[in-house]
Amino acid sequence: MNVTTTVARIPNLHKVLSGISYSWRIGKIFGVPTDLHWTFVFVPTAILYFAYTPGYGMNWQSAAWWSTIALLLFTFILVHELGHALVARDRGVRADRIILFPLGGGAYLPDQPKQLWAEVLVYAAGPLANIFLAILAWIALLLRPDGELLIAYFLRLSGNIVLRPAILDQILGITLGVNLLLAFGNLLPAYPLDGGRILRALLRKPLGARTSTIVVTALGVLIGIPLVWLGFKLGDPLLACGAVFIILLSGMEYRNGWQRRRLAKTAPKAVLRVSEGEGWRVFTSETVGAVRQRFRASGWPVLPVFNQWNEQIGFVETSVLEEEADSDEEAVAPYCEAEFITAPPEEDLLSVTERIVTANVYGATILGKGGKLIGYVFTEDVMGVLKRRWWVR
């Protein structure tokens, strides 16, 4: 289920979420719209905070150094996401947007490539882009004096350093080390990392979509837990936080997998709302006041709307009337959503819900043989099914 379209139905939650996800468009990079998440304001703030010592003032040299590191990290993450986005576009899949967070990023690909190898390539392209940067840094370091010693030092192969690396060597070393870390870290076979998505794509055919999701999300938790421990052991808060993030997202996707399974095994009958005669039909010719009364009488969150020939044309939602209609005397028609979908009673609830979300409507009208009206399924009632812990069919 697509969360963003579902929350669009809940106005206040939508406002809160769009506040949290606020970002600035920095432009198009190779034609891909690229956004900076608002939490980036913490980056210069943190750099200035840590470069300042009371009594000594601002250490501008330290501020410049950490700004360079931040800029490098930003570039490595951008290159990673561009890897995904550009390969996706090359395989004929839209890349709508790249969003960059201070310590990560995401490429929004609304569709998935049809062929398995194209899908694997799209997910592998991010880590491969980082490996490419690491190789460039490796070659550049080899061309420097004491290059081999420097490489061994930066890869932590020899802890004892007799050299004092120049600034350029340090930057190349960071490019080498961080990109290898980004590449191999993201290739761990755990959801939501690229490696987990590759594994899921590979397992989809032999195991099926739902089981392969369950496998990679379970791996996310299994791999995440020792990584949290390792983060604490090494005193690395980034690793620990990243691992907690992996566990949380895997847990959510795992739950999502079970919920889809549950919906797929449920018939619309379980959440069907049956209209008592014609009493709860809204007609486009009615006033807001009359419809408000009908909402109170029925207790329904949504009511079906009919035209003068008694044909359904859509739905109207009580919260829309409460928030947008000013007076009881005005016509209800402008507040109705003139779109709805129909479904046969045999269709499973997962498929009906997915169609409701895709069409971005309030619900589905369930029609039996010969177009006989059986009842309605509303998204809110489907949410109710998912909240019930012990669902008895």
Please check whether residue 100 is in contact with residue 84, taking contact to mean a CB–CB distance below 8 angstroms: no
363: contact with Zn ion by CB under 5 A: no
268 near Zn ion, judged by CB under 5 A: no
In which order are the strands placed within the sheet that holds 312-317? 282-283, 302-306, 312-317
Residue range at the interface with Zn ion (CB under 5 A); choices 93-101, 191-199, 203-211, 282-290:
191-199
- Residue nearest Zn ion, Cβ-based: 126
Specify the residue, 194 or 286, whose C-beta has the smaller distance to Zn ion. Answer: 194
Instruction: State yes or no: residue 83 binds Zn ion (CB under 5 A).
Output: no
3-state secondary structure of 338: coil
- Least separation in angstroms between residue 322's CB and Zn ion is 43
Find, among 329, 328, 336, the residue nearest to 307 by Cα.
336
What percent of the chain is helix, strand and coil (3-state, nearest 5)? Answer: 60, 15, 25
Residue 175 DSSP SS3 = helix
Give the interface segment with Zn ion, choosing from 110-118, 125-133, 308-316, 377-385 (CB under 5 A). Answer: 125-133
Contact 109, 123 (CB under 8 A): no
Q: Provide the sign of the torsion angle of the four alpha carbons 348, 349, 351, 352, taken in this order.
A: positive
**Read out DSSP for 61-80?**
HHHHHHHHHHHHHHHHHHHH
Task: Look at residue 283 and give its three-state secondary structure.
Answer: strand
Q: Which is nearer to Zn ion, 124 or 263 (CB)?
A: 124
The pair of structure tokens assigned to 376 is: 């309605």
Task: Please state the closest distance from residue 148 (CB atom) to Zn ion, in A.
Answer: 31
From 31-39, 60-68, 121-129, 264-272, span contacting Zn ion (CB under 5 A) = 121-129
Smallest gap from Cβ 30 to Zn ion, in A, equals 17
194 in contact with Zn ion (CB under 5 A)? yes
Among the candidate windows 123-131, 150-158, 249-257, 295-303, which touches Zn ion by CB under 5 A? Answer: 123-131
Looking at the Cβ atoms of 126 and 375, the one nearer to Zn ion is 126
d(CA 334, CA 365): 21
Closer residue to Zn ion (CB): 133 or 333: 133
- CA dihedral (67, 70, 76, 82) positive or negative: negative
Cα separations (Å) of 249 from 231, 349, 385?
A: 18, 24, 22
126 binds Zn ion (CB under 5 A): yes
Token pair of 84 as six digits = 């995904």
The piece of 67-75, 128-136, 193-201, 219-227 that touches Zn ion (CB under 5 A) is 193-201
CB of 237 to Zn ion, least distance (A): 22
Of the two residues 182 and 270, which places its CB atom closer to Zn ion in the complex?
182
Q: How far apart are CB 273 and Zn ion at their closest, in Å? A: 43
| Footprint of Zn ion (CB under 5 A) | 126, 194
